[in-house]
Chain A
Amino acid sequence: MAMDLKLEGRTALVTGASRGIGRGCALALAAEGVKIAVGARRRELLEELADEIVAAGGERPAIIVTPDLAAPGGGAYRVKDAALEALGRIDILVNSAGRSQNPDYPSPMPYDAPDAAWDQEMQLNYVTIRQLTLSLVPAMIERKYGRIINISGKTEPRELHTASPAKAAVHGWSKGLSRQVAKHGVTVNSIPPGKIISEQILRNYSEQQRQETSKWISSGEFGDPSDIANLVVFLASPLARYITGAVIPVDAGFRRFAY
């Protein structure tokens, strides 16, 4: 029998959905018949995404304008409430909101950067993910189906920047959670993206820097958000029921460690 994703009728919340990887994940899940809620800061971009999904024949996603998820406190819980109000339940959570460096500071992070500059990036890149996930997991356990998919990072930092400790926290926390919920049909996996063309990349890398970076990519080319989204769709499906607690790079060999 040919391999069928069996995702029609499932529900998903995708954060960071206005651009780049999150946007690609939203499009790909919607194309497989998943009812989605899309969260980001910028409403007009989410509306554009929603229009595109409808034009492609999908159901219009629920739009959630999120608070600043780097701010301290419980912004994640408001996102959770809005998603449940829109969809009733969340089967699939794609944690794609995040960034590689505090935008108010240069890279590498200065030694004297204040605590708040580090804390807010930990909040965005790890704490928000933990808060959102743990508030949705009990219902997934009850329904015996859940998919937590974190867009993380390769944890091979070239220098000091704010995302690397947070992404490492995501991996460690994901491993513990995955072992605890596995018997309930809930999987937890993380995807370190390689160099994916996105608004963030185009903002952070000059053309020359992109060419330099390409030398470390085995394929020689930057990837596309759809490359990440294709794995997200596979992991979200029942076909990947036995894959959990994994860190699965989508990076055309960019990362250096072999194992």
Chain B
Amino acid sequence: MVKDWQLKGRGALVTGTEGVIGQAIAEALAAEGVNVCSVNGKEGAEAIVEQGTRALGRVDILVNAASEVRRPDNTPADIDAASWQAAMDRDFELPRRLTHALVPGMIEAGWGRIVNIIGPSEPLFFSAEYAASGALQGWAKSLDREIGANGITINCIQPGIIKGTAAAAHYDEAALTGMEDPVIPFGEMGDAADIAHAVVFLCSPLSRYISAIVLPVDGGLSRHQH
């Protein structure tokens, strides 16, 4: 029995589609009848918004999936001011600017979906990207207070270690999933499709009452229990 996720005809702007996660998200939304405008997030916010609205007319769904790989083994001295700014610009400022530009249209339509693909909340090493991800989580929660009454939900998804991502290349799969004390209880790195499934669900009208959450899709990797 094929499930109707009630997304046919919606317009979605998806950033980061040069990566496996962004690409899987764009494909999964398209398979549900969504009109998808894919961008790689390297351009500025204004250019991306212009591209999206030109392609789609109205942007109902924004998926911010353009975050970069975290480089391990940094000390504060390894990251100069320009690098800090670049991480914040890419992983926090760009999603924020895109969202703020597109929210008025969603408010006017009385419907919208914002999904942010973010980094983990349990940093294993020092990097600028962790700070940017934390900023994005706090911003998303507070923005929900402001826009939630307009049929708009805003959520964050925290992928674990996903096959084919630049981040996954840093890890030895055998060590991560070894039976003695597996870093990933599931036993394998995840597929980009695992993330895409959660994105489709959070974009669907069926998740209208889910907002301002941080959803781990990580095979049990994270330790916090709430």
Residues of chain A at the chain B interface (Cβ within 8 Å): 1-5, 8, 32-33, 155, 171-172, 174-175, 178-180, 182-183, 190, 194, 217-220, 223-224, 227-228, 230-231, 234, 239-253, 258-259
Contact = CB atoms under 8 A, between A and B. Distances in A.
15 contacts: A3-B28, A8-B1, A32-B1, A32-B3, A171-B226, A178-B220, A183-B185, A183-B186, A218-B212, A242-B186, A244-B220, A252-B153, A252-B209, A253-B145, A258-B142
Contacts of A248: 210, 213, 215
Given A219-B209, A234-B201, A259 B218 contact: no
Contact of B160 (A194, A224, A242): A242
A32 B2 CA distance: 9
A246 B215 contact: yes
Nearest to A220: B149
Contacts of A241: 186, 194
Contacts of A1: 31
A218 B145 contact: yes
Interface string B185-208: 111001100100110110000111
Nearest to A2: B31
B28 to A, nearest CB: 7
Contacts of A231: 201, 207, 210
Given A182-B220, A183-B182, A248-B213, A242 B190 contact: yes
Contacts of A171: 225-226
Contact of A244 (B2, B186, B213): B186
B2 A2 contact: yes
A228 B28 CA distance: 23
B19 interface: no
Given A2-B31, A3-B3, A5-B3, A247 B226 contact: yes
Contacts of A243: 194, 198, 215-217
Nearest to B4: A2
A220 B147 CA distance: 11
B144 interface: yes
B225 A174 contact: yes
B92 to A, nearest CB: 14
Contacts of B28: 3
Given A182-B186, A242-B218, A249 B5 contact: no
A182 B185 contact: yes
Contacts of B179: 183
Interface in B22-55: 28, 31-32
A245 B2 contact: no
A247 B210 CA distance: 12
Given A3-B197, A258-B212, 18 more contacts: A2-B2, A4-B2, A32-B1, A174-B225, A175-B225, A182-B220, A183-B185, A219-B149, A219-B211, A220-B148, A230-B207, A240-B198, A241-B186, A242-B194, A242-B219, A245-B216, A252-B210, A253-B148
Most B C-beta atoms less than 10 A away, residue of A4, A8, A32, A231: A231
A1 B32 CA distance: 8
A250 B209 contact: yes
A239 B186 contact: no
B214 interface: yes
A242 B217 contact: yes
Contacts of B194: 241-243
Contacts of B210: 227, 231, 248-252
A258 B141 contact: yes
Nearest to B157: A243
Nearest to A152: B226
B138 interface: yes
A259 B214 contact: yes
A155 B226 contact: yes
A245 B1 contact: no
B165 interface: no
B121 A259 contact: yes
A32 B160 CA distance: 29
B5 A3 contact: yes
A219 B154 CA distance: 12
Contacts of A252: 148, 153, 209-211
A242 B160 CA distance: 9
A253 B31 contact: no
Contacts of B145: 218, 253
